[in-house]
Structure 1
Amino acid sequence: VTTGGTEANQLAVLLARERHGPTLSVLHGANAHHSVPRAAWLLGLPPATELPTPTGILDPAPLAEALATTPGPTLVTATAGTTDAGLIDPIHRIADLCDRYGADLHIDAAYGGLLALSARHRDKLAGLGRAHSVTIDLHKLGWQPVAAGLLAVPDTTLLTPLAHQADYLNATDDTEAGLPDLLGRSLRTTRRPDALKIATTLRALGRDGLTALIDRTIDTAHHLARLLDAHPGFELHAPPTISTVLFRPTHADDDHLATLRRTLLHEGRAVLGRTHADGRLWLKATLLNPHTTAEDLDSLISLLEGTHR
């Protein structure tokens, strides 16, 4: 259990460094979360190599070129649910390249990881189980208060580098007698019982309950996308992959768009994100409330119509 996706990504890079040493190279797409190159810097590794992602996802072709020319051990980081648009890298094809070139694979699925629960959407994560480590953040589609991050590994032996012995916390004879030893599961010593709220939610809702919330939230995002696409006053960037909808008023320039967003925020009327795609600025609606209604979406569009005029 971690404080969030940032700490989980840092732990993943740390574990890879401990497996391979301080010459480890980190490759990631420009679509990756900023915590990935930051982790390489924090851990004293060579500067991470950023690969261009003009389509919003990591293209296997430039990744193959980079792997072929990168000497020594390498960690590739793919993303399942980008911050900007909620896009998912082609995991199986990236994993194939990692196998071919002997690279480790970490997948940052902080946003999209819980799609694995949904029979309707888990195919978007095909290949997730091939990673050496996976970041998940239940603060997003798990609806947990922070902190609720997870780092998952396929084999607990991969966590061995975190092992540490302090007699006052995990005396050898206590551990051998069956007392839990949590010191090797985190870099933190004093920490909150964040696993409790996660366990409570899982016990209360179960897999089916969480899946229903995930499916409903994604359906709502697609409904918003259809409304915007059909409206002559708005331009939809693309149908959502998860629950992030990028759009912009049809005749607005980037400066007007930025001002519109700040006005709505300052007036407390709507909280919309912003991102650049295809050389232009877009408004970003990331739907994460499963109780959002069609009436709420209609109200948002009406608000934007009135503010944009």
Structure 2
Amino acid sequence: MTTPPPQQPPLSQLFHHDNTTSYLDAVALGARTVADHLDRGGRPATGRDARSAAARVAAVDLDAPLGDAASAVEELSRLWLQDTVWFHEPAYAAHLNCPVAVPALLAEVLISSVNASLDTFDQSVGATFIERHLVDWTAGRIHGPDHVGGDGIFTSGGTQSNLQGLLLARDHALAAGAPADRLRILASTQAHFSVQKAARLLGLGDAAVLGVPIDAGRRMDPAALARALDGVAAAGDVPMAVVATAGTTDFGAIDPLPELAALARRHGAWLHVDAAYGGGLLASRTRRHLLAGIEHADSVTVDFHKTWFQPVSASALVVRDGATLRHVTWHADYLNPKDAAHPNQVDKSLQTTRRFDALKLWMTLRTMGADTVGDWFDAAIDLAAAVAERVAAAPDLELAAPPSLSTVVFRYAPAGVDGAHLDALNTRLRAALYDSGRAMVAATKVDGRTFLKLTLLNPRADVEQLAGLLDLLRETGAGLAAELVVGRPPRQRALHLVEAVR
């Protein structure tokens, strides 16, 4: 006897345009589900391992629908929400993920429900001008309110913004007659990996990116850049672009933008500033000066879904001269007719169909204001400074460097453990914290050694909560160190420690 297929819901329940009640019920169900999981908070995660998470999902038969949204959400809770990572918990301090502003969540409902596409005016109407107004506003924050001619486009994230900025730089150089095989990009050794990735995607190759040494503050060294630019010229190559970073991923370091801008201008190089992390300083009432010199940039990456507290995705590329966006324009009669009265954003974007992500920032600014956003980022930076003081004062913790923005790089360094043994211990410690579900921290390499990293983007977290995280980390680390070496002859201890990590 065959099992009858589940009864399918009527079409009137599948499209909210046909049944307003079904739409309201679905949105309310989603909101209640999230609220229920938020109320069970206290830990950033459960520590679910990848193997069991994958097995749960693989067991789902996608050809056997459940028939109603409530059952699907109940299943989803088991597959995802029960074990998801919650970025609003103070003990989450791993990556550049932020808790999100509530007005932006309201915007997400509107964005998904209407499903506008921002490529052409006739698919978006007012949304086109909301995005353009936000780009103009951001350009004003970067280049100054009196600057004329700036422009830009919202993108999916910093990687896409960096790619588009370097594409403009490449085509600007090619239009000036530079040979493609001689183009070079100069970026610090701490620049985001998307710079190398962009060079590869643009057909320039890995060798086109030249790493410039950093100074004691882990910022690009202007003297080293000057030597590198002279070397490029001596080799008969062309400095296509200088990429400055305003907030490196690990240390939050901000390259000396005025000096780099002067060098780029002297050598005829495009200046791109990757401010994906530090861009939130554009809204700060106390730290905007840290971005002094960004106004000289030819293109700037800003990630609103990092230090502007927006849901993913919300990023932008802003250019000093809007005419340079012509390098990404491709004409199609069915999509972007030449009609100045009806501007089409597809002329400026690497994407065609594109969500109305700008609405999230718009709702946040119209509800809370930019000053509040800036104050939140300032609070995270202040918190990082206070936590770094606690780290520096602890005898078994080693601070890598004073924080520049909201990251704290350090490691657990108990007496009697050093070298590769210390690297292995910190690797194991990070995994143990995740497995417990009680805290999440990141890891990185500093001069070849393993360090831990707290990335603090929660404006509601306080010093005592983070001090509790440090206490948990030290307690867990002490237990691991004792467990890994107890009862073993000295020559076997290091081997056991490494094997335990594996």
TM-score (norm 2): 0.59
Q: 1:9 aligns with which of 149, 162, 165?
A: 162
In structure 2, the CA distance between the partners of 1:147 and 1:272, relative to structure 1 (3 Å rule), is same
Trace 1:1-309 onto structure 2 (pairs within 5 A): 1-21=154-174, 22=180, 23-46=182-205, 47-53=208-214, 55=216, 56-70=218-232, 71-172=237-338, 175-176=339-340, 178-251=341-414, 253-309=422-478
> Is the CA contact 2:328–2:350 (under 8 Å) kept in the aligned structure 1?
yes
Rg larger for: 2
Displacement of 1:150 in angstroms is 0.9
**Percent identity of the aligned residues?**
45
Displacement of 1:60 in angstroms is 1.1
Question: Residue 201 of structure 2 aligns to which amino acid in structure 1?
Answer: L
- Say which SS state the counterpart of residue 140 (structure 1) adopts: helix
Structure 1 equivalent of residue 82 of structure 2:
none
- Say which SS state the counterpart of residue 49 (structure 1) adopts: strand
After superposition, the C-alpha distances for 1:178-226 in whole angstroms (9 at most, x for unaligned) are 2231111211111211111111112112121111111111111111111
Segment of structure 1 superposing worse, 190-199 or 18-27: 18-27
> Is the CA contact 2:301–2:317 (under 8 Å) kept in the aligned structure 1?
yes
Question: Residue 287 of structure 1 aligns to which amino acid in structure 2?
Answer: L
> Is the CA contact 1:165–1:183 (under 8 Å) kept in the aligned structure 2?
no
Distance in 1 between residues matched to 2:219 and 2:408, nearest whole Å: 16
> Is the CA contact 2:282–2:374 (under 8 Å) kept in the aligned structure 1?
no
TM-score (norm 1): 0.94
**Two-structure CA RMSD over aligned residues (Å):** 1.5
Question: Residue 38 of structure 1 aligns to which amino acid in structure 2?
Answer: K
- Say which SS state the counterpart of residue 281 (structure 2) adopts: helix
- Say which SS state the counterpart of residue 75 (structure 1) adopts: strand
Displacement of 1:73 in angstroms is 4.2
Distance in 2 between residues matched to 1:200 and 1:24, nearest whole Å: 42
Question: Residue 241 of structure 1 aligns to which amino acid in structure 2?
Answer: S
Question: Residue 48 of structure 1 aligns to which amino acid in structure 2?
Answer: V
Q: Which runs of 5+ in 2 are unaligned?
A: 1-153, 175-179, 479-502
Segment of structure 1 superposing worse, 244-253 or 102-111: 244-253
In structure 2, the CA distance between the partners of 1:299 and 1:73, relative to structure 1 (3 Å rule), is closer
After superposition, the C-alpha distances for 1:256-285 in whole angstroms (9 at most, x for unaligned) are 011101111122221111122244321100
Count, aligned residues: 306
Distance in 1 between residues matched to 2:451 and 2:288, nearest whole Å: 28
Displacement of 1:52 in angstroms is 3.1
Distance in 2 between residues matched to 1:220 and 1:54, nearest whole Å: 25
Question: Residue 26 of structure 1 aligns to which amino acid in structure 2?
Answer: I
Distance in 1 between residues matched to 2:438 and 2:265, nearest whole Å: 49
Distance in 2 between residues matched to 1:73 and 1:28, nearest whole Å: 11
Question: Residue 61 of structure 1 aligns to which amino acid in structure 2?
Answer: A
- Say which SS state the counterpart of residue 203 (structure 2) adopts: coil
- Say which SS state the counterpart of residue 281 (structure 1) adopts: strand
Displacement of 1:162 in angstroms is 1.8
Larger relative contact order, structure 1 or 2 (CA cutoff 8 Å, min sep 6)? 2
